Amino acid sequence: MPYRQFQDCFLATTGSDLHVNGKKMVGSAQLRRRGAVLQHGSILLAQEQTILPELLGDDSQVRSGSARHANLFEVTGRTVTTEELERAFKFGFESAFDAELVEGELTEGERDLAARLQKNYEVTEELAYTL
């Protein structure tokens, strides 16, 4: 079945997905429009295997008990702390881009831009009703 046909993106793995033994560990999506990139990613830490099939109404997967995805805590055999994940991401990005990431505050220009763009993303009462 083609990748886009799956309701649960964790059922399909591609060569660009992070997976363990053929089971997806990280789900990621990207949208590119007019020179901008929106990147979304999910790392499964300890998600129950039955949650997505139950939410999507796929009870055959729930009954079979087959593992649909890989959880970080199961793969590593321990609970990984937020601080460990932050350090790992920082190290990975710095290594991949040969750059040092420095934590800081938003600049005045960045705050002004966020304030100007905020109205584009506010949920109005009319929009909230349609959701």
Catalytic residue among 4, 5, 9, 39: 9
- CA 103: distance to chain centroid? 22
Asked about 100 being catalytic, the answer comes back as no
Which structure tokens are listed for 97?
């881009």
Whose CA is closest to 64, among 49, 81, 46, 74? 49
29/10 Cα distance (integer angstroms): 12
Query: Catalytic site residues?
Result: 9
